[in-house]
Amino acid sequence: MSNNFFIILLGFILIISCQDNLIRDKQKETIFYLIRHAEKDRSNSENKDPILTSEGIKRANHWASYFDTIPLNSIYSTDYIRTKQTIFPVSKLKQIIPKIYSVDELDINQLISSNQGKRVLISGHSDTTPSMVNKLIGENKFSNMSDSDNNSLYIVNILNSKVSVEVRSVTIGN
């Protein structure tokens, strides 16, 4: 066999290998986990940035237990004490520094593209969490959460431009 045959064969193998990598890259699953902050202190109705109650801290620690075996690449939180306290145990466990986002300034397409193939936890509020889920799935499916709902987990899965969403109720102790 001639050297030309080996060069052509090597070129063919490289082309197939590159195409295989492109196909695999397109099939990377992206998962967003969205939660509302845990129970907040309501003792002062004038306080727009309250801390978590003891029950809220218990729930935040439960979220860390819940996500213990789930790989995460990024964690996002709004710039409020209660949302940051909610994801603190998870971020400490995973050794991930949370990224602060502003709901009004968030570019959802940028969020999706910069996290392609990753698993992301997002801590928000009773109005912003369902709104962000709606933006991620591209339809207006979810309305604001009940003010007493601190245990809903929205899981948005994006694979090959197909988007699905699952809502779980994660109570403390299960």
The C-alpha atoms of residue 21 and residue 42 are separated, in whole angstroms, by 52
The C-alpha atoms of residue 58 and residue 86 are separated, in whole angstroms, by 9
* Three-class DSSP category at 160: coil
* Position 23 confidence tier, pLDDT thresholds 50, 70, 90: very low
* Position 173 confidence tier, pLDDT thresholds 50, 70, 90: confident
* CA dist 150 → 24, 67, 108, 115, 124 (Å): 37, 16, 23, 25, 11
User: Tell me: the pLDDT tens digits for 81-137?
Assistant: 999 999 999 999 999 999 999 988 999 999 999 999 999 999 999 999 999 999 999
The C-alpha atoms of residue 156 and residue 165 are separated, in whole angstroms, by 4
Mean pLDDT score, 69-91: 98
Give the domain 28-169 fold.
Answer: Rossmann fold (3.40.50)
Model pLDDT, residue 19: 54
- Sign (positive/negative) of CA torsion 109, 114, 119, 123? negative
Model pLDDT, residue 22: 46
Range with the lowest mean pLDDT among 12-16, 18-22, 57-61, 136-140?
18-22
The C-alpha atoms of residue 165 and residue 140 are separated, in whole angstroms, by 12
Domains of the chain: which residue ranges? 28-169
Beta carbons of 93 and 68 less than 8 angstroms apart: yes
Burial class (CB in 10 A: 0-12, 13-18, 19+), 118: middle
Instruction: Report the 10 Å Cβ neighbour count for 82.
Output: 23
Provide the H-helix boundaries in the chain.
3-26, 54-66, 81-94, 108-114, 128-137
**DSSP one-letter code for 168:** E
pTM for this entry: 0.84
User: Tell me: the pLDDT tens digits for 44-68?
Assistant: 999 999 999 999 999 999 999 999 9
